[in-house]
A and B are shown apart, each in its own frame.
Chain A
Amino acid sequence: MATLTLENVTKRFADGDDEIVAVDDVSIEIDDGEFLVLVGPSGCGKSTTLRMVAGLETISEGAIAIDDEIINDVPAQRRDIAMVFQSYALYPHMTVRENMRFGLEESTDLDTETMDGSVERTAELLEIEELLDRKPGELSGGQQQRVALGRAIVRDPSVFLMDEPLSNLDAKLRAGMRMELQRLQNDLDVTTVYVTHDQTEAMTMGDRIAILDGGKLQQVATPLECYHRPRNLFVAGFIGEPSMNFFDATLEGDELVLEGTELSYPLSAPIREELEGETELVLGVRPEDVKILDEATDDHAFPVTVDVVEPMGNENNLLATFEGSELSINAIVDGMRHVQADERYAARLPESAIHLFDRSSGRALHNRRIDDEEKLLETRV
């Protein structure tokens, strides 16, 4: 049980004569028992951040503290953390039991019986009792994954670190393990930092998610807050599958003119006031908020031609092109609705669902309206 604090943490790597800043001034406070997901595209510095917490990388600047005790100079061996690796990193010459007991043997003075007891209890929790005397090479990927988890859990550490632990599993198993990991983390109530590049994992698993790009922290918030209230263009584009639609737009009077088209989108006064005088903007709207109508009924709807229909069963993903332009838009409609490719429709972008960003800085100027804001955003998974 512990809180984990990262304060202005920076990591620089020397690359010949150049210097690469892998992690740039990252500050996050993680509460006791919280599940924080570090997410970002590859090379964003999320793994480096995790490795600094683990003690596998030195910290160039800033401080990392567990329960207010700064651990910058504490070697990995004595940090009281456990880590699950992407490759599982099991010891191939040891049985599952020995793998799980290794950490206890190396880091505690417990007697053999106590250790065996903990190993067996943990194995039961993960339903791998019958694998205890096998070697990692005889196990399937999913089983190895459980052993790797068990090896971390049995240590009863103050902080869990997980580095893309599910990425080597096939899709079905991954979905199952996602749920199970959350259940385990809930039961054990151990502070956890989870690194992934998969925004679905981030959305579904984290109490909060921290989004990194280019070594810089973009936003730390609950998943739904990141989804509905992205702080900038990067977060808006990264969170959500399929991604948000973005259109470069210029404010002319009370209308947004979409770049490269004749289309103009009327903007109501309250939203215009939020724009802080910026006129070079990016208009964002999530595919599921785009309404596909048979024809344009108001001035927020535009005629489109549907190019591609991807039936998913529960919904249809559409790719459509605005008439008289090259601009295309993604939309999701209900699975029961029949939409014909190459037919003309109208795409309506409801004003309540649009996001507006400053084009040069990427900063969000206006986010979509949420009817019951408190209820939606304060809920933690």
Chain B
Amino acid sequence: MTAAERTESGSSEGRLATTLETIDSQRAALYAVLLGLIAFYLSPLWGGLTTAFKTQTGFVQTTPLAPPTPEWFTLEPWELAFATMQGGLVNSLLFVVPATILSALLGSLAAYGLTKLSWRGQIGILVLFLAGVFLPYQSVLVPLRQFWSAVDLAGLLAFAPFLAERADLIELTVTHTAYGIPICTILFRSYYKTLDDEMIEAAKIDGASAFGIYKRIILPLSMPMFAVTLIYQFTQVWNDLLFALVLVTSRSNYVVTQSLNELQGSMAQEYNIQMAGAFIAALPTILIYVVFGRQFAKGITGAS
């Protein structure tokens, strides 16, 4: 902790203590601890944010947590970072959105098949899905690269030049979809197990087919869980660098995490630009959370 922070949190503790003295000293202590924790967790974020608004000399001469003074205040890092990352942002959106939606949708279908339909060998399949959740990224890098080398996607898509150029991104879409299905399946499965079996049976007796039941009953009731998986998968896929490093070869297909990496200067460390870039890269995941947050809360508490 820096000196500045210590005095800051100290004074707010003092204020709290005086206002809450009459109520309960234990409660005051609790709030003091909580405030301390908030300061502890937010200080890196705060430091990053202040740095992103400082000039090169500014962040060298001040402590990271000190707010930018007018003399060293600038928006330039944001402009520079955005200019470099523009392409990466677009590329990322191009593959993250379909990969997220596909893995959620396929995961939900698989979970439906594993909970509400009866057929032989379910346990075996479920075990495979479970194993898929625990498969580390690193362990599949080599076979993954070999697989996509064997499947010449760009060649296969030669009839449509636009798609052929984006073959790297399509490979990423497929890979992340496949990698995301197990966790989505497990999440949806736990949710579907709570759905009333009698309701499914009622639909069956009402004449609905297995897919009809999925489309008209299960899918509309899955929205809270879709919010959970969409947020989780979007964040996961958006933040991934490893698969992109292995699969994306052409510079024009660089995704956001790769372009963020590009901000790292070779001579001097331009922390202000890197920090601005980090915030730009994180923005879409924050937006997704804001959009689906309400549904997300419903999904994880199991309310429908």
Report which A residues bind B (CB closer than 8 A). Answer: 54-56, 76-79, 81-83, 85-87, 89-93, 102-103, 106-108, 151, 155
Contact = CB atoms under 8 A, between A and B. Distances in A.
A82 B201 CA distance: 11
B198 interface: yes
A328 to B, nearest CB: 42
A155 B304 contact: no
B143 interface: no
B205 A91 contact: no
A83 B196 contact: no
A83 B202 CA distance: 7
3 closest pairs, A vs B, by CB?
Answer: A107-B207, A103-B206, A106-B207
Contacts of B201: 54, 56, 76, 83, 85, 89
A296 to B, nearest CB: 56
Contact of B198 (A87, A102, A103, A107): A87
Most-contacted residue by chain A among B205, B207, B208 (CB, 10 A): B205
A86 B196 CA distance: 12
A91 B208 contact: no
A91 B203 contact: yes
Most-contacted residue by chain A among B199, B207, B208, B221 (CB, 10 A): B207
B199 A106 contact: no
A102 B304 contact: no
Interface in B133-166: none
B204 interface: yes
A102 B216 contact: yes
B220 A89 contact: no
Given A93-B221, A106-B212, A87 B196 contact: yes
B198 A77 contact: no
A59 to B, nearest CB: 15
B12 interface: no
A77 B202 contact: no
Contacts of A54: 201, 205
B204 A77 contact: yes
Most-contacted residue by chain A among B204, B212, B220 (CB, 10 A): B204
Interface in B208-252: 208-209, 212, 216-217, 220-221
A55 B207 CA distance: 12
10 contacts: A76-B204, A83-B202, A86-B198, A87-B198, A89-B202, A91-B203, A92-B304, A93-B217, A93-B220, A107-B206
Contacts of A79: 205
Given A85-B198, A89-B196, 14 more contacts: A56-B204, A56-B205, A77-B209, A79-B205, A81-B205, A82-B205, A83-B201, A87-B196, A89-B202, A90-B202, A91-B217, A93-B221, A102-B216, A103-B206
Contacts of B217: 91, 93
A102 B199 CA distance: 12
Contacts of A86: 198
Nearest to B213: A106
A77 B199 contact: no
A214 to B, nearest CB: 25
A83 B205 contact: yes
Contacts of A107: 206-207
A80 to B, nearest CB: 9
Contacts of A92: 199, 221, 304
Nearest to B206: A103
Contacts of A85: 198, 201-202
Contacts of B198: 85-87, 89
Contacts of A56: 201, 204-205
Nearest to B202: A89
B130 to A, nearest CB: 23
B196 to A, nearest CB: 6
B221 A103 contact: no
Contacts of B216: 102
Most-contacted residue by chain B among A79, A85, A106, A155 (CB, 10 A): A106
A77 B200 CA distance: 12
A131 B189 CA distance: 33
B199 A89 contact: yes
Interface string B280-304: 0000000000000000000000001
B199 A103 contact: no
Interface string B110-137: 0000000000000000000000000000
Interface in B182-196: 196
A198 to B, nearest CB: 19
Given A87-B196, A93-B221, A106 B208 contact: yes
Contact of A90 (B199, B207, B209, B212): B199
Contacts of B208: 77, 102, 106
A107 B209 CA distance: 10
B226 to A, nearest CB: 13
A86 B199 CA distance: 11
A98 to B, nearest CB: 9
Contacts of A77: 204-205, 207-209
Nearest to A91: B217
Most-contacted residue by chain B among A55, A77, A155 (CB, 10 A): A77
Nearest to A80: B207
B108 to A, nearest CB: 15
